[in-house]
Structure 1
Amino acid sequence: MTVSPQLGALLHRSLRVYQVWGANTEVGKTVFSTILCGLTSTYRPDEKTAFLKPVSTGPAHEADGRHIPRFLPGIHSETLYQFDLPVSPHLAAQVSQKNTPSDKEVLSGILDFASCHASPNSGWLFIETAGGVHSPGPSGTTQADLYRPLRLPAILIGDAKLGGIAQTISAFESLKLRGYDVELVLLFQNDTYQNHSYLTPYFRENHSIPVQTAPLPPPFASSNPQSDTRNMQAYYTSTVTLSSLSSIPAHLSSSHKSRISRLESMPSTASQTIWYPFTQHQHLTRDRITVIDSAKDSHFDTLDPGTPSKSLLRPMFDGSASWWTQGLGHGNPTLSLAAAYAAGRYGHVMFAEAVHEPALALAETMLSGMRNERLKRVFYSDNGSTGVEVAVKMALGASRGRYRHGWEGEGMKKKAGVIGLKGSYHGDTMGAMDCSEPGVYNERVEWYEGKGAWLESPGVSDPLFQRTLVKVVRASPELFAGKRGHAHQSKDELDWSGLPVVFDEVFTGIYRLGRFCAASFLGVDPDISVHAKLLTGGLLPLSVTLASESVFRSFLSDDKSEALLHGHSYTAHAVGCQVALESLKEMIKMEENGEWDWALSSQHKSDDQSHRASSQQPDQVVGSRVWSVWSHELVEWLSWQREKGVEGVWALGTVLAIHMGCAGSSAGYKSTAARGLQAALLRGSDSDGSVHSRVLGNVLYLMAGQTTTEETVRRVERLIRQGLGDITR
């Protein structure tokens, strides 16, 4: 689920909000919540304490939300959703006559309740979950994922019973995997099992988390309710005065204050400490540094001064998909678990002349997904730029081997270069920069020696031109053999011809433009292909360079110096490979399940359905799908906004590029023509949130993730329309 912009992390300056989790059911969450409310209500008499139970099951008269006001009458306590059946919330909701609340509705209710209690004199709010950490909510989403967008600091109630040590540690690790900060562990002091004697040093020494214990409450005697009430009242009266528990409010208050203080000091500290990429620091003021506290799905939670009734954290759409990498949503639990699994199983293991399952399985999945019979080999590196470096070494090495006699001679090696496209960019390592024409990215780099010829297509991103260029190169080996060389003619149609053809799909590949392989738009297959960015779904840096068998064979020799002598210490990092494998599996499944069908126009949908019905080769159907998450209405509207500075618009897959211009402003990377629209999107609106975006000179680009919902995209589209209006008034 992608949470709408107004549903973000919850952090108020004066209201200290903590979420109470249980290592299991029946561990005493409500008893400890009552103790916490009692402790904080006397900590500072001028502050108020409130309690919220978002979801409760069982008879209403036994609801947890009614327990606290029974023993602490001054505490405001509420339950948002009460289901009568005493079972898991998802089952109780199914059999209930009431409408099952969505995750969004549950979160909205919590935010509304907190907002009502936030004021300059507000104090505390404790939000108690139901059952264990992974007990399902009403919709079936486990609570650990359901409440993740709020990113509330957690208080974990440990299990004091037999087996409770394992339950408590497992619950803690589940919360940690999802980015929760556990501030305190509480559990009963059960002298029979002594769980606290193990858990106290475990959490203190391994995680710097304090553990506090409370005596077991009096046993419940159903035959005498009045006596039970008196006994519990006496229990709470004595427990909240224990010196061992008296430090809890101060600890929680200090933690809350430190969190806010750190967030507010980060821009100043960062401006004196960090050297940012692609940034002219001469113009970078502290107020322009975005403080990101957390991220969920397609949004950041960023620091905003706010007011007492508003959260200090503002949800902001991640308009660059975190520099083109984000695909399956920030904080994706499947990818987080995959990373933890591989880290626990392997860590990092050396890869030269070795193999491990994540690397092999990922290589097989990539080659299968490409549907390119030429590509047979996979080389791992760390990022897109180094992946391009590898590709260039492969291509030059293969060409040198084939045209060795024609290329021999003084200075010939220095003259070797690439045939590329004008305006191209392949990264910032030296070799990758040399594959691009002179420009702002490399003109001040002293070692830059642009090596190649860069051709300009007759139209904007014209696929026919690129396809024709590849075919001409492959059909004309005599152009590249040199004066003393001989054109190579191979009977193998998969052998490279003319020159090895390299496609840089670091940005465009793996569904960024709507297809697994962007080369399918051109109708030709490369000999070498580079992939990164979406490869790991936005979680870890990793790149693969895929090569044909004929390119690979050109490096075979008895002389080791003729091998591809390139590598990295973290080559085929097992954690990255495992995450990438899960990422690819998930996106392939999304395509197979038609989860992007909403982005197809009606015409494309009908065309696609007819293809599915008539084609005998279903693998080819994928290549026929052309779609964009950005609506045709928006693209058409933008196309008519020339008087507002729009000079062009381009949309495909998840990408939207808006070319801006203004009188006296030149195009290109140094242009500031897109800054006005960028600032307007950052301001946003109360109803639709805001957008964090990047600009490439006069081009403002936006992109969604592969899991971004249609509702979220339409909100951003409304902000684009509003933003263009704001900058022209």
Structure 2
Amino acid sequence: MSQPIGSLLWRSLRAYQVYGANTDVGKTIFSTILAKASKKRRPAENVWFLKPVSTGPLDEADDRHVSRFAQGVSTHCLHQFEKPISPHLAALSSAQETPSDSKVLRGIRDHFVECAQAGPGFAILETAGGVHSPGPSGASQADLYRPLRLPVVLIADSRLGGISSSISAYESLRIRGYDVASVMLFHDAVYQNDDYLRTYFDKQNIPSLSLPFPPERKESLLEDEKSLATYYEDVSSLPSMQDLLSRLDEQHENRINRLQSMPSRALECIWYPFTQHQLLSPERITTIDSASGDFFQTSTLPVKAIDNYTEDSSAPLLKPSFDGSASWWTQGLGHANPELVLAAAYAAGRYGHVMFAEAVHEPALSLAEMVLKYLNNPRMSRVFYTDNGSAGAEVAIKMGLRAARLRYGWSPSDNIEIIGLQGSYHGDTMGVMDCAEPSVYNEKVEWYQGRGFWFDYPKIKMANGSWVVEVPENLQQALGSGGVHSSLTDIFDVERREHGEEGQRYQQYIIDTLEKLQKQGRKFGALVMEPVILGAGGMLFADPLFQRMLVRVVRENPELFGTRSNETTTIEGTSNDWSGLPVIFDEVFTGFYRLGRASSSAFLGVHPDVSIHAKLLTGGVVPLCVTVASEPIFNAFDSAEKTDALLHGHSYTAHPIGCKVAEKSLQTMNELDKTGHWDVFKLDWIAPSNIEAESGDIKLHTEECPTGVWSVWSKDFVTSLSLHDKVRGVFAIGSVLAIELQDPSGGGYTSTASKELQSALMTGTLGDAGPRWDIHCRVLGNVLYLMASQMSTPETVREIEALVRASL
């Protein structure tokens, strides 16, 4: 099992990354000075210099220069290319294989692990060229090295134009989440850039230091080397140089102390969500230093004194933790995704936030048009912006209830309810709480009334190696006992299944239930569902056929809900007019490729009248939600009276930063879908008859398999889990995996049956080398769920699968 790459931090090793504001600014000279000064300051300690990628003749290599003029310093280069050109071009023109970004990062990590284990010391990693000079793969160095997140010593540019390039380099690093520990540059009496930059960086509380230029090159090589050796000896001995090293040491210790104290400090002043604080201690709080890709970088430091504990100063203080809950289901394109970060920075710089009522800005308009296009729902025509899924659901309920009240002529004082499914949950605000049945989430919430009827329904899972439809015992007389299906794709072939016995039974049961409710005099204003998976209620995988039939019955039997009023604001006879009740799909969790498709409604073969989308909408960068509605729903609020308008909004409605990030996020996921990025996962799930080999490549006949259902979690893995004696059932679709553990007490949100597995995953494992890694995950009672991102590699997912197997 390979070791995930994470941030590097040790108590014993003070490691820094040297970036240049430009090419030819003296990075190697300053690296030599730092190395030599550090060796002088602490002669007994080790000093290392690492050049990951070097180009040009071997005798002019930077590591050789450091070795020559900083005696006692260990130097190393990972990848040397002969031609003195940009690394990506040098790699292309070289006979040797171009090292991948992952290989470069692993080489750096493994080297620094060895350094840390060798004893206390100081380490320097010197980049090539400027901040954005490409690595061998062509990726910007600022992005290539970001997972390591080493503190930076930035070498500023003392030449004409250097102020601009230096500040630009600094801002590029800051935008990507680097900590700039210090700035160094040469003193130029003509341009005096150091005076300006010192003032600038003092305001940022970043120590800066200017040093004299090295002597001019001498005629003979021997004289030149002597002159340069004298220069390095003198400059490395300067009090200002030693003072800078002291400040770097202080920063290093402060960083470690902050990490160690954060859990205790947090417990004193933070009120955590979904947490009983009497059960919480500092040891249970995860300290997250940063995040990159699919992983958090979490602290391994003990938060308080432990008996008989002796810290190993060479042990890593940070470890990679796979973000198994996708940060409460928001993360899809990787933490710190540079394209999303830059989109946010652009919108922040262009707008900040601007008022949206009766105004428009480009990100909001562009995103609204894009959402309507990608959802491909012919009913939809309007996009309403809110800040999060709960608020978006509030708006959707307002939309549905108003439209139904006007159509059926009900009074505003009438008690209008919703129809939903048991286990539904649409948010934590007071209004949408009433759209969920009584549960642990709301039973002790003042004002909760629970205004609705919630159907029980068949559920899907794999158990003992087979995909089954599991019908609740109390429904078996009406719906049958369920059954076994050949595949997940077979279960989602709802158009075929609805014409069979299952479909007929479901339809009759729903009609009979709604008729009983009608006789009770109850009024309903909307059908509200989470398509396919009900998330917060316990990762409940609903039979898609039942959800499809529920929509069909509601739409085809409007007489079950009331007599149509003569006064109506809907458009008669149009294809997008709603019937029966407005159908609201809460796709906050399941939408935008979480399950492998742009909209989870596609799995049911029906189009809602209103849908809610958040979470993956912005790829986990900023909060944003859209509630999308049809024109007839919009028309229910359209009149000459201001009081008839949808009087709902937030101070940050349609904030440009969120809209711009969402636009980039949706573009990226749509492109991944079009280019077959997920085909490697689909091949494991879709029938062999839909696959062919062409010119040595595997291709999917997706046009022949439109109902193909797949997961990033391998079929063999899911099957093996379902056969485990501790597992009651399992399902996987898209990036979602849910494992239902056996619980003699019956399970549910308050169950502790999954805690043992959760603890094992969060303890983690040792990789081939370097720091331990684990899986940071959440549980819902006896259900433990994991989510990959839409960018997770097959290698990462298979590693997670192996750890889950071992932990079980």
1:660 and 1:415 map into 2 onto residues whose CA distance is: 40
Alignment deviations for residues 163-203 of structure 1 (CA, whole Å, 9 cap, x no partner): 11111111111111111000101000011111112111111
Residue 618 of structure 2 is aligned to residue 536 of structure 1:
yes
After TM superposition, give the deviation of residue 449 of structure 1 in Å: 0.8
Asked whether the 8 Å contact 1:40–1:249 carries over to 2, the reply is yes
Partner of 1:450: 450
TM-score for both structures, normalised by structure 2: 0.85
Q: Secondary structure at the match of 1:137?
A: coil
Identity level (%):
55
1:520 and 1:70 map into 2 onto residues whose CA distance is: 66
**CA 1:605–1:89 in 2, change beyond 3 Å: closer, same or farther?**
farther
Partner of 1:430: 430
**CA 1:603–1:712 in 2, change beyond 3 Å: closer, same or farther?**
closer
Partner of 1:328: 333
Asked whether the 8 Å contact 1:5–1:316 carries over to 2, the reply is no
**CA 1:484–1:626 in 2, change beyond 3 Å: closer, same or farther?**
closer
After TM superposition, give the deviation of residue 4 of structure 1 in Å: 6.1
Partner of 1:180: 178
Partner of 2:373: 368
Deviates more, 1:211-220 or 1:337-346: 211-220
Partner of 1:720: 804
Asked whether the 8 Å contact 2:561–2:581 carries over to 1, the reply is yes
1:233 and 1:423 map into 2 onto residues whose CA distance is: 74
2:651 and 2:690 map into 1 onto residues whose CA distance is: 45
Residue 441 of structure 2 is aligned to residue 441 of structure 1:
yes
Partner of 2:583: 501
Asked whether the 8 Å contact 1:489–1:497 carries over to 2, the reply is no
Asked whether the 8 Å contact 2:63–2:76 carries over to 1, the reply is yes
2:684 and 2:587 map into 1 onto residues whose CA distance is: 29
Alignment deviations for residues 269-296 of structure 1 (CA, whole Å, 9 cap, x no partner): 1122211111122211211111111111
Q: Secondary structure at the match of 1:579?
A: helix
Residue 80 of structure 2 is aligned to residue 82 of structure 1:
yes
Partner of 1:159: 157
Give the aligned residue type for 2:392.
Answer: G
Q: Secondary structure at the match of 1:100?
A: coil
Residue 233 of structure 2 is aligned to residue 237 of structure 1:
yes
After TM superposition, give the deviation of residue 536 of structure 1 in Å: 0.2
**Which residue among 332, 345, 348 is the counterpart of 1:343?**
348
**Which residue among 22, 29, 32 is the counterpart of 1:31?**
29
Alignment deviations for residues 455-499 of structure 1 (CA, whole Å, 9 cap, x no partner): 111344111111111111112222222598899993222111111
**Which residue among 626, 645, 656 is the counterpart of 1:574?**
656
Residue 721 of structure 2 is aligned to residue 638 of structure 1:
yes
Q: Secondary structure at the match of 2:30?
A: helix
1:318 and 1:65 map into 2 onto residues whose CA distance is: 37
**Which residue among 507, 526, 529 is the counterpart of 2:608?**
526
After TM superposition, give the deviation of residue 115 of structure 1 in Å: 1.7
Alignment deviations for residues 190-240 of structure 1 (CA, whole Å, 9 cap, x no partner): 1111111211111112x211221000111224x411111111111112212
Map residues 28-177 of structure 1 onto 2, 5 A cutoff.
28-119=26-117, 121-177=119-175
Alignment deviations for residues 104-153 of structure 1 (CA, whole Å, 9 cap, x no partner): 22112212221222148412001111111111111222211111111100
2:390 and 2:672 map into 1 onto residues whose CA distance is: 28
Residue 754 of structure 2 is aligned to residue 674 of structure 1:
yes
2:92 and 2:179 map into 1 onto residues whose CA distance is: 32
Asked whether the 8 Å contact 2:82–2:90 carries over to 1, the reply is yes
After TM superposition, give the deviation of residue 6 of structure 1 in Å: 3.2
**Which residue among 669, 672, 677 is the counterpart of 1:590?**
672
After TM superposition, give the deviation of residue 522 of structure 1 in Å: 0.5
**Which residue among 318, 325, 334 is the counterpart of 2:323?**
318
2:389 and 2:689 map into 1 onto residues whose CA distance is: 35
After TM superposition, give the deviation of residue 661 of structure 1 in Å: 2.0
Deviates more, 1:588-597 or 1:676-685: 676-685
Alignment deviations for residues 606-662 of structure 1 (CA, whole Å, 9 cap, x no partner): 56569x9xxxxx998895342100011011111111x2x211101100000001123
**CA 1:620–1:529 in 2, change beyond 3 Å: closer, same or farther?**
farther
Give the aligned residue type for 1:292.
Answer: I
Map residues 257-406 of structure 1 onto 2, 5 A cutoff.
257-305=253-301, 307-404=312-409
After TM superposition, give the deviation of residue 244 of structure 1 in Å: 2.8
Asked whether the 8 Å contact 2:685–2:710 carries over to 1, the reply is no
Q: Secondary structure at the match of 1:118?
A: helix
Asked whether the 8 Å contact 1:301–1:316 carries over to 2, the reply is yes
Q: Secondary structure at the match of 1:454?
A: strand
Give the aligned residue type for 1:479.
Answer: L
2:380 and 2:656 map into 1 onto residues whose CA distance is: 22
2:429 and 2:636 map into 1 onto residues whose CA distance is: 25
1:492 and 1:314 map into 2 onto residues whose CA distance is: 58
Asked whether the 8 Å contact 2:35–2:48 carries over to 1, the reply is yes
**CA 1:623–1:179 in 2, change beyond 3 Å: closer, same or farther?**
farther
Q: How many residue pairs end up in the alignment?
A: 706
Partner of 1:10: 8
1:605 and 1:146 map into 2 onto residues whose CA distance is: 38
**Which residue among 749, 756, 765 is the counterpart of 1:685?**
765
1:176 and 1:489 map into 2 onto residues whose CA distance is: 53
**Which residue among 743, 750, 756 is the counterpart of 1:662?**
743
**CA 1:145–1:216 in 2, change beyond 3 Å: closer, same or farther?**
same
Deviates more, 1:465-474 or 1:452-461: 452-461
Give the aligned residue type for 2:716.
Answer: E
Partner of 2:732: 651
After TM superposition, give the deviation of residue 241 of structure 1 in Å: 2.4
Deviates more, 1:705-714 or 1:278-287: 278-287
Asked whether the 8 Å contact 1:397–1:554 carries over to 2, the reply is yes
Give the aligned residue type for 1:182.
Answer: V
2:258 and 2:760 map into 1 onto residues whose CA distance is: 28
Partner of 2:560: 479
Partner of 2:417: 417
Partner of 2:711: 628
Alignment deviations for residues 496-521 of structure 1 (CA, whole Å, 9 cap, x no partner): 11111100000000000000000000
Asked whether the 8 Å contact 1:478–1:486 carries over to 2, the reply is no
After TM superposition, give the deviation of residue 9 of structure 1 in Å: 0.7
2:807 and 2:100 map into 1 onto residues whose CA distance is: 31
**CA 1:483–1:137 in 2, change beyond 3 Å: closer, same or farther?**
closer
After TM superposition, give the deviation of residue 91 of structure 1 in Å: 1.2
Asked whether the 8 Å contact 1:515–1:622 carries over to 2, the reply is no
Partner of 2:467: none
C-alpha RMSD of the superposition: 2.0
Give the aligned residue type for 1:259.
Answer: R
**Which residue among 545, 557, 566 is the counterpart of 1:464?**
545
Map residues 201-212 of structure 1 onto 2, 5 A cutoff.
201-205=199-203, 207-212=204-209
Structure 1 residue runs of 5 or longer lacking an equivalent are 613-617, 725-729
TM-score for both structures, normalised by structure 1: 0.94
2:597 and 2:718 map into 1 onto residues whose CA distance is: 20
Q: Secondary structure at the match of 1:594?
A: coil
2:727 and 2:236 map into 1 onto residues whose CA distance is: 65
After TM superposition, give the deviation of residue 243 of structure 1 in Å: 2.9
1:143 and 1:459 map into 2 onto residues whose CA distance is: 48
1:403 and 1:414 map into 2 onto residues whose CA distance is: 12
Give the aligned residue type for 2:747.
Answer: A
Structure 2 residue runs of 5 or longer lacking an equivalent are 302-310, 461-541, 695-700
Partner of 1:213: 210
Asked whether the 8 Å contact 1:599–1:627 carries over to 2, the reply is yes
1:167 and 1:40 map into 2 onto residues whose CA distance is: 28
1:119 and 1:322 map into 2 onto residues whose CA distance is: 33
Partner of 1:615: none
2:687 and 2:196 map into 1 onto residues whose CA distance is: 60
